[in-house]
Amino acid sequence: MLELDTRQVKMGQRAADKAEALALMGGFLLEEGLVDKGYLAGMQAREAQGSTYLGQGIAIPHGTPDTRDAVRQTGIRLLQFPEGVDWGNGQRVYLAVGIAAKSDEHLSLLQALTRVLGEDSLEASLREASTSEHVLAILQRTPQSIVVEPQLIALAQPAEDLDDLIAIAARRLRQADCAAEGFAGALYDAAPLPLGDGLWWVHGLRRVKRPGLAFVTPATVLSHEGQPVKGLFCLATGGEGHEALLERVCELLAAGHGAALAGGMTVAQILAALGAEAAPDWPSATVPLANAHGLHARPAQVLTQIAKRFDGDIRVRIAGSDAAPVSVKSLSKLLSLGARRAQTLEFLAEPLVAQEALPALLAAVQSGLGEPVEPLTEQDLARADAVTSDPIEALVDDTPSAIEAVPPPPAGSTWHAVAASPGIAVGPAYLHTVRSFTYADHGVSPEVERTRLRDAIHASRAELGSLIHRSPVKAIREIFVTHQEMLEDPSLVEDTDARLAQGASAEAGWMATINEAASTQEALEDALLAERAADLRDVGRRVLARLCGAEDAIEPDNAYILVTDEVGPSDVAKLDTARVAGILTARGGATSHSAIVARALGIPALVGAGAGVLSLAAGTPLLLDGDRGMLRVAPDAATLARAQEERAARVARQQAADARCMEPAITLDGHAVEVFANQGDIKGTPAAIAYGAEGIGLLRTEFLFMAHAKAPDLAAQEADYRQVMDALEGRPLVVRTLDVGGDKPLPYWPIPAEENPYLGLRGVRLTLQRPEIMETQLRALMRAADSRPLRIMFPMVGSVTEWRQARDMARRVALDTPVKDLQLGIMVEVPSAALLAPVLAAEVDFFSVGTNDLTQYTLAIDRGHPVLSAQADGLHPAVLKLIDMTVKAAHAHGKWVGVCGELAADPHAVPILVGLDVDELSVSARSVPLVKARVRELDMTKTRALAQQALDMAGPGDVRALVEAFD
């Protein structure tokens, strides 16, 4: 640590410009014997690379790394310039702190200086200081506490440059309520400082609510001013000191931990390294968990949804554990708790939201989070006490013993899990638990172990090559290609090498590296990225099996249901699909690779069923319904027979529908209904067409905006829209303009907290407030269209004025970007739009009914409500009446109407919607064949009569019964 004393300060200096100030500083350091003459050139070169202005009137001139040889003795000297010196970029320096450092000693100085930077009056104090004692006193003020918490750490973020990282850090600080709106803008004026090891430092002084430190790393190494960028510390500081933390950061770097901070450490490790508090001192409440399978995917999802309604940080941990509480808003983190039945959850909520959030969360847990729950017994509670609850352990421990503590679901019971791949499967349980290998911790010698590892990786790569070659399904091939890429990752070998050098065996070193990397991945807030940890573990096990010379397990001869913890893609792909009737996993989500593989192979699958399924006795008869997300354990003969029949009928129906999917959907009496596909990405168009889609009926353009760290520019959007239009080969494209707000947040477009976001700024209301974003999108769409059929619709239109404003904007854009075949319409998602359909129909070209939102607004039921959403049925006669009004109004003006909500694919709803004379149904691509087949069964006269009857029913149940009787 560098000490400061008054002899190191020269007061009352004057310099005409920065060059003169640097010369003065060079001279001061030289006369004090700290540096040789050449150091001044180094200081000048450093300024040329980037200003050393630190903030609040302080600059820290120092030499470049290659002029360290010119440093004779480490030390610092201070020059006070009461009149100030122009340091460039409009920044004025009143105190120059010249650093002569042989290594990284200047970090401790930086720490001492930054401590005081937050003080608004600092600049004036330094300027006005009359004695060197005064200057030093200003620089040595007492530190205060600063927020460092999990949500302020974001690892492996998609970022293209340092600015992106700054934006992410600023967003985290805002979300943690450390900074207010405008903080990010203020940051861009601050010059980021390299700290070494690819780590950078930036701090913001304005728009700070409370001091906080964010740490962000990019997914790939970036570059800034010719130097690598592997991580960024971003400090929000607003008048309070923060010495302890800065000291910690600087100590960490000086002690050589920079490389680990920049990559390799988990969030928990980083927090621990920074000395963050394990748990915040917030109001808390506890509640025992009664769900039979613990906090598995479904109930966890319900919990995250409830938490997301509150605009503040809410965390949870298992009561009594030392682990840092995790964010309730992160599904992957919730799952990583591994909370089991009868364990007590401890919720902690920021004081601002605690009063409302804690009772809501407690009530939701008590009511079972959407699952029926049995009351807890004494025995349950005693068992829960015996279970360990360290979340990190739970994640990395893949031995069966950690899982056996949960009892199996009893015979005759029905369980719910995430429906990952559709279809009904029946068969005995075949438990495929992760094999545990025994191996020595210590190796023969680093060289021997290195060779063994290299050989095992080489063999695994070849094995993957042959799997790629053999896999009939593209999605599976792509996964193995990804696995091969993972094996190419030099950091895996480098990290293992370091362990081998310390004496580890190839097996122990490799698995330690894999577990560490997978845990880091699992700690990510992005559920999709977190799920990729399963692939890393899969790759890890493949190499381990090679190192241990293990043979593959032998699967049974007859059709079975594969029951496993978290199936790796290679496990599934290796299985004989003729014998795997279904897949049931304890962990995983609908987007995990195992789910993707199961879908690609057409194997019915349920995932995230909870640890209990791993305790099922081998051979237990199982009935798995991949459509309804339901598992029956040892069902009785009658249930089984019904399911078998249903399965046979479904399979036959799907096959027949698939065979005729390219034919149009025409009723028995010759009425044509267009069947289009809904799409949420750019790539899916060819697949949709292959399923028989006659066009894209709803392109949800949010995906494009969500895939970027900031709003994509005109060229990026045009390229993406063009890709969709090209793939459509002249078929119509119905595009919805950006629909964010409410249930669809956009990270870089933060919407001020609203009491009720569903009734707040969202959809077109929001985009009309940002005309530049909307105009760019419209222009990109029109440019991409050329002469192809383009239909643009605006989401959440609730008034004629909104429609007219949006239409006028589109017309203005079309003036300079004309499109030959353009229609402009609205989505009917708000009851007022349906009620005003007679007025709107005169002006729009078409309507598309978004039944998902129309139902929630008509019935006043949140579409994501954990309990009530099941009642948000679009076949409610009230919703049907609004659709009927819309169609009648449109047809009176010769306009067409589509339905693009989930209702359009519901087999009960198709006859009603067709009977109400809806012209187009837009559904998920996979549903196109079945919807077309359903239309072909109908007779228009009878269907119209059915629809009229439905309008007069009392509730959705009556409508469904009516349709069943009709069939």
- For 300-327, b where at least 16 C-beta lie within 10 A, e where not — what string? bbbbbbbbebbbbbbbbbbeebebbbbb
Residue 873 in the binding site for ligand PEP (CB under 6 A): no
The span of 1-9, 99-107, 210-218, 822-830 binding Mg ion (CB under 5 A) equals 822-830
The span of 202-210, 485-493, 603-611, 849-857 binding ligand PEP (CB under 6 A) equals 849-857
> Which one, 853 or 920, has the nearer CB to Mg ion?
853
As a dihedral over the C-alpha atoms of residue 324, residue 328, residue 331, residue 334, rounded to 10 degrees, the angle is: 40
* DSSP H helix total and E strand total for the chain: 38, 33
Residue 927 in the binding site for ligand PEP (CB under 6 A): no
- The nearest distance, CB 826 to Mg ion, in angstroms, is 12
The site partner of 577 among ligand PEP, Mg ion, none (C-beta below 5 to 8 Å per kind) is none
Among 143, 850, 874, 877, binds Mg ion (CB under 5 A): 850
How many Å apart are CA 897 and CA 882, to the nearest integer?
Answer: 12
Residue 264: other Cβ atoms inside 10 A? 18
Give the residues across from 142 on adjacent strands: none
The span of 219-227, 286-294, 813-821, 825-833 binding Mg ion (CB under 5 A) equals 825-833
> Which one, 625 or 853, has the nearer CB to Mg ion?
853
> Which one, 391 or 850, has the nearer CB to ligand PEP?
850
Give the burial class of 419: count Cβ atoms within 10 A of its Cβ; 0-12 exposed, 13-18 middle, 19 or more buried: buried
The span of 282-290, 311-319, 651-659, 847-855 binding ligand PEP (CB under 6 A) equals 847-855
Residue 313 in the binding site for ligand PEP (CB under 6 A): no
Amino acid (one-letter) located at 729: E
How many Å apart are CA 746 and CA 707, to the nearest integer?
Answer: 10
Residue 464 contacts by C-beta under 8 Å, 6 or more apart in sequence?
Answer: 480, 483, 484, 487, 542, 570
Residue 852 in the binding site for ligand PEP (CB under 6 A): yes
Give the burial class of 471: count Cβ atoms within 10 A of its Cβ; 0-12 exposed, 13-18 middle, 19 or more buried: buried
Reduce the DSSP state of residue 789 to 3 states and report it.
Answer: coil
Give the residues across from 346 on adjacent strands: 286, 317
Q: How far is CA 690 from CA 629, 659, 728, 905, 906, in A?
A: 27, 11, 11, 18, 21
Nearest residue to Mg ion on Cβ basis: 853
For the segment 382-441, give every residue that binds Mg ion (CB under 5 A): none
- Number of chain residues interacting with ligand PEP (CB under 6 A): 9
Token reading at 315: 């965390």
- Number of chain residues interacting with Mg ion (CB under 5 A): 3
Token reading at 960: 């469904």
Residue 348 contacts by C-beta under 8 Å, 6 or more apart in sequence?
Answer: 279, 280, 282, 283, 284, 314, 315, 316, 317, 325
- The nearest distance, CB 918 to ligand PEP, in angstroms, is 13
> Which one, 556 or 680, has the nearer CB to ligand PEP?
680
Q: Is 416 marked active-site?
A: no
The site partner of 900 among Mg ion, ligand PEP, none (C-beta below 5 to 8 Å per kind) is ligand PEP
> Which one, 540 or 795, has the nearer CB to Mg ion?
795
- The nearest distance, CB 901 to ligand PEP, in angstroms, is 3
> Which one, 540 or 874, has the nearer CB to ligand PEP?
874
Token reading at 900: 């693009």
Name the strands in the sheet holding 153-157, side by side, starting at the edge strand that comes first in the sequence: 153-157, 212-218, 231-236, 199-204, 193-196
Token reading at 350: 């920021």
Among 890, 900, 923, 935, binds ligand PEP (CB under 6 A): 900
Closest CA to 734 of 766, 693, 764: 693
- The nearest distance, CB 899 to ligand PEP, in angstroms, is 8
Residue 869 in the binding site for ligand PEP (CB under 6 A): no
> Which one, 46 or 736, has the nearer CB to Mg ion?
736
| First and final C-alpha spacing in the chain | 83
Q: Is 593 marked active-site?
A: yes
Contact by Cβ (8 Å): 438, 511: no
Among 55, 443, 864, 901, binds ligand PEP (CB under 6 A): 901
Q: Which of 106, 416, 483, 593 is catalytic?
A: 593
Residue 850 in the binding site for ligand PEP (CB under 6 A): yes
Residue 246: other Cβ atoms inside 10 A? 27
> Which one, 720 or 829, has the nearer CB to ligand PEP?
829
Q: Which of 242, 293, 296, 908 is catalytic?
A: 296
Q: Is 458 marked active-site?
A: no
Q: Is 296 marked active-site?
A: yes
Among 853, 873, 884, 902, binds Mg ion (CB under 5 A): 853
Residue 697 in the binding site for ligand PEP (CB under 6 A): no
The site partner of 342 among ligand PEP, Mg ion, none (C-beta below 5 to 8 Å per kind) is none
- The nearest distance, CB 311 to ligand PEP, in angstroms, is 21
Token reading at 14: 């004057």
- The nearest distance, CB 744 to Mg ion, in angstroms, is 9
> Which one, 309 or 671, has the nearer CB to ligand PEP?
309
| 118 DSSP 8-state letter | T
Q: How far is CA 266 from CA 99, 403, 506, in A?
A: 34, 24, 23
- The nearest distance, CB 534 to ligand PEP, in angstroms, is 28
How many Å apart are CA 453 and CA 474, to the nearest integer?
Answer: 30
Token reading at 317: 């941990």
> Which one, 777 or 848, has the nearer CB to Mg ion?
848
Residue 700 in the binding site for ligand PEP (CB under 6 A): yes
Residue 851 in the binding site for ligand PEP (CB under 6 A): yes
Residue 829 in the binding site for ligand PEP (CB under 6 A): yes
Binding mask 720-759 toward Mg ion (x if CB under 5 A, else -) reads ----------------------------------------
Residues serving a catalytic function are 62, 296, 593, 900
Instruction: Write out the residues near Mg ion by the rule CB under 5 A.
Output: 829, 850, 853
Instruction: Write out the residues near ligand PEP by the rule CB under 6 A.
Output: 698, 700, 829, 850-853, 900-901
